Structure 1
Amino acid sequence: MDFAFDARTEELRERLLAFMEECVYPAEATAAAQRAALASPWDVPPVVEELKAEARRRGLWNLFLPDEKYGAGLTNLQYAPLAEITGRSPQLAPTAVNCAAPDTGNMELLAQFGTPEQRERWLAPLLAGEMRSAFAMTEPDVASSDATNIATRIERDGDAYVITGRKWYISGALHPECRILIVMGVTDPGAPDVRRRQSMVLVPRDTPGVEVRRAMRVYGYEDHYHGGHAEVVLDRVRVPVTNLVGEEGGGFAIAQARLGPGRIHHCMRLIGMAERAVELMCRRAVERTAFGGPLADQGVVQQWIADSRVAIEQLRLLVLKTAWLMDTVGNRGAHTEIQAIKIATPRTVADIVDRAVQLHGAGGVGQDFPLAELWAAARTLRLADGPDEVHQRSLARRELARYRRAP
């Protein structure tokens, strides 16, 4: 395994780092000020569109897509250090370069499973950054950590599907430019294989019967920049059968194919969030004085910083190994490592950010520093794309299988 940056990755890193310093970091305060003056909290600050235009001008666009037909054509290993950089400003940078969830996963899904007509109608404007999208899987009335529990019904009625159900924490659905929901539901409740009962359909957000009911908060935040996390009710929503993604009964497999890259992308960005937290921690430590000297001279502070650096380096190596395996043996061959990074990265990064919060005192929990939002995002990712316990269960069963004897 060779994790040295190749020439193309290094060149893109330099361009992206310059974009962050010259455009993104200065725009953080601008975006906050503009948002306060908007008519609706879901409207997009004008500076966001300015950042997107500048990113395209600099050739920093759709970096996450490995297929050159749709994106930059980078491998997972090449994309990892770039995603890490965008993670340093998670509210603005991923959107600025059109690499923000849930659109990334939805674009990958459409590129892999969509029909030519679906790709033309929905994928093309997503690739151009002209619209946003949402992925509607999680439900409030069932344990959605087990996707076979999904209860939303998708019933065939002639040349249409009729969809009835209730979803929540549907990221992006409140964004004013969200035009399409990818909805997972049950098409064949009696199928012998519980993993062949679900399907996915494309539901335009303005379809009659679609009600975006409310914004769900995440530790008090509504996440306006990414279009929030909505409760969505589907009341006998009708869409043509041509809106089926893939095949009937293929929804579970499509979801797994979508979530693999999504999990590693989250972990890549989380490392950038941890780096931002350590940078803020170090700056605070050398600038603030307490008990007759700078905080940087306190042994506990030095321990926090040292432990954080060690943890980041460990996580980065594990994420890079996972990216390399996904490139060389495929997502299935990297299953154990994908689960390992999904368990380790959010948990560890939340701990690192928590140390930075502690060092900042009252400022750490307020709006003058990004730490509280960074912590909320990291902690939430212990649930998103499968909670820790599901990944631990699966990983442990795979480990134990090597030692169990057949009866």
Structure 2
Amino acid sequence: MDFRHSDRALEWQDRLRRFMDERVLPRSAEYWAQVREDHTRQPPVMEEMKGEARAAGLWNMFLPGEHGAGLTNLEYAPLAEIMGRALWSAEVFNCNAPDTGNMEVLHLYGDELQKRRWLEPLMAGEIRSAFLMTEPEVASSDATNIRTRIERDGDHYVVNGRKWWSTNMGHPNVAVSIVMGKTDPDASVHTQQSMIVVPVDTPGFRVERMLSVFGYDERPVGHAEVVLENVRVPAENLIAGEGRGFEIAQGRLGPGRIHHCMRTIGAAERALELMVERLLSRTAFRKTIAEHSVWEQRVGEARTNIEMCRLLVLKAAWMMDEVGAKNAKSEIAQIKVAAPRMALQVIDDAIQAFGGAGVSADTPLAEMYAMVRTLRIADGPDEVHNRTIARLEYAKQGGRR
């Protein structure tokens, strides 16, 4: 296995790092001030930064081929880490979830009409999108439980159901959603589901309420509970045909987990940086806090654990490039468990180093903790990923997967 960065990858990292340091991180205070002033609108500074990033060629970096930067998973992973230093910054480069996953779905599975209608404006950063999969009335860690119905009616499909944790539904630019539901409840368990594109202004599509995360409303992005009541959309909006929902979901989630985990490592790096600055700048009991042995242990463990997680994610990215997501199933599951757990510990230690300031809005740590904590649930909870890992281990010894 060779994780050395190519010259091309190093060039991309240098360009992105300089842009983050010069054009994004210094405007963080301005961004949050505009969000707090009116979180129902797109912060003007975000649109300014998006224009600058696109002009700099730092745009759609996650997509392969002519539609994006043409980077491999291994080449893109460090870029996601750099963006993770400010978890809100991925939108600056049009590399934000769930738009990235939705663009990948339309790129891989959409027909030409779907690409023209929705992929192109998403790639241009003109609109944002939502992904509606999780439901409040069932254990959505098992997606076969999904109850939302997608029923054929002539030249249309009619969608009925209730979804929640629909990220982006609070964004003023959200225009379209991809909905997962059952087209044939009597089919085999993994061919009952399909995915369909539903514009959010379709009659019967309504936001029931916005949801908070540890009290944060996470605007202007936001997460919503959405009701779909007799929502009629043209049959041509169905993606790739009936019964392919699970197949599409797996194609969508593999790269997305690499992105999430590397952004999470970027957040851990930022938390460690803030923690060390704080420890070196404060004195308690006649010496700097950094000189107290307990903090030496915490900083040492943080660095070690960040490095271990980064190598594991790079291995998973390399395997996806070399042998495909199916053959990297265990590694992808491992990083999804390991990275958020590691980052939460580092962030928690950083909060402790800051004392009362750490749980306030004076630092990014409290909201960073809230955002990263959701990743132990989003895209499959830890328990599901550990189940996958364990069954693959059983199979090595002749057990049933």
> What TM-score do the two structures reach when normalised by structure 2?
0.98
Residue number in structure 2 paired with 1:185: 181
- Partner deviation per Cα, 1:165-207 (whole Å, 9 max, x = no partner): 000000011211111110001110111x111001111000000
Residue number in structure 2 paired with 1:95: 91
Distance in 1 between residues matched to 2:228 and 2:37, nearest whole Å: 33
Residue number in structure 2 paired with 1:322: 316
Q: CA deviation at 1:36?
A: 2.7
Q: Does 1:333 align with 2:327?
A: yes
* Corresponding residue SS for 2:87: coil
Residue number in structure 2 paired with 1:163: 159
Q: Does 1:273 align with 2:267?
A: yes
Residue number in structure 2 paired with 1:114: 110
Q: Does 1:51 align with 2:49?
A: yes
Q: Does 1:203 align with 2:198?
A: yes
2:227 pairs with one of 233, 238, 251: 233
Residue number in structure 2 paired with 1:61: 59
Distance in 2 between residues matched to 1:286 and 1:188, nearest whole Å: 61
1:78 pairs with one of 70, 75, 80: 75
Residue number in structure 1 paired with 2:349: 355
Q: Is this contact kept in 2: 1:216–1:229, CA < 8 A?
A: yes
Distance in 1 between residues matched to 2:162 and 2:192, nearest whole Å: 18
* Corresponding residue SS for 1:156: strand
Structure 1: unaligned runs, 5 residues or longer: none
Q: Is this contact kept in 2: 1:174–1:212, CA < 8 A?
A: no
* Structure 1 stretches of 4+ moved >4 Å: none
> What TM-score do the two structures reach when normalised by structure 1?
0.97
Distance in 1 between residues matched to 2:255 and 2:146, nearest whole Å: 22
2:210 pairs with one of 215, 222, 228: 215
Residue number in structure 1 paired with 2:384: 390
Which amino acid is 1:8 matched to?
Answer: R
Distance in 2 between residues matched to 1:405 and 1:50, nearest whole Å: 56
Q: Is this contact kept in 2: 1:173–1:229, CA < 8 A?
A: yes
Q: CA deviation at 1:404?
A: 3.4
Q: CA deviation at 1:405?
A: 5.8
- Partner deviation per Cα, 1:272-330 (whole Å, 9 max, x = no partner): 00000000000000111111111110111111110000000000000010100000001
Residue number in structure 1 paired with 2:26: 26
Structure 2: unaligned runs, 5 residues or longer: none
Q: Does 1:283 align with 2:280?
A: no
Distance in 2 between residues matched to 1:69 and 1:111, nearest whole Å: 11
Q: CA deviation at 1:333?
A: 1.0
Q: CA deviation at 1:336?
A: 0.6
Residue number in structure 2 paired with 1:35: 35
Q: CA deviation at 1:8?
A: 1.2
Q: Is this contact kept in 1: 2:180–2:245, CA < 8 A?
A: yes
* Corresponding residue SS for 2:34: helix
Distance in 2 between residues matched to 1:160 and 1:57, nearest whole Å: 40
Distance in 1 between residues matched to 2:40 and 2:122, nearest whole Å: 19
2:363 pairs with one of 356, 362, 369: 369
* Corresponding residue SS for 1:69: helix
Distance in 2 between residues matched to 1:196 and 1:32, nearest whole Å: 44
Q: CA deviation at 1:69?
A: 2.2
Q: Does 1:343 align with 2:340?
A: no
* Corresponding residue SS for 1:43: coil
Q: CA deviation at 1:42?
A: 2.7
RMSD: 1.0
Corresponding pairs, count: 400
Q: Is this contact kept in 2: 1:163–1:235, CA < 8 A?
A: yes
Residue number in structure 1 paired with 2:245: 251
Decide which moves more: 308-317 or 173-182.
Answer: 173-182
Distance in 2 between residues matched to 1:405 and 1:98, nearest whole Å: 44
- Partner deviation per Cα, 1:350-402 (whole Å, 9 max, x = no partner): 11110001111011111110001111111110000000001111110110122
* Corresponding residue SS for 1:206: coil
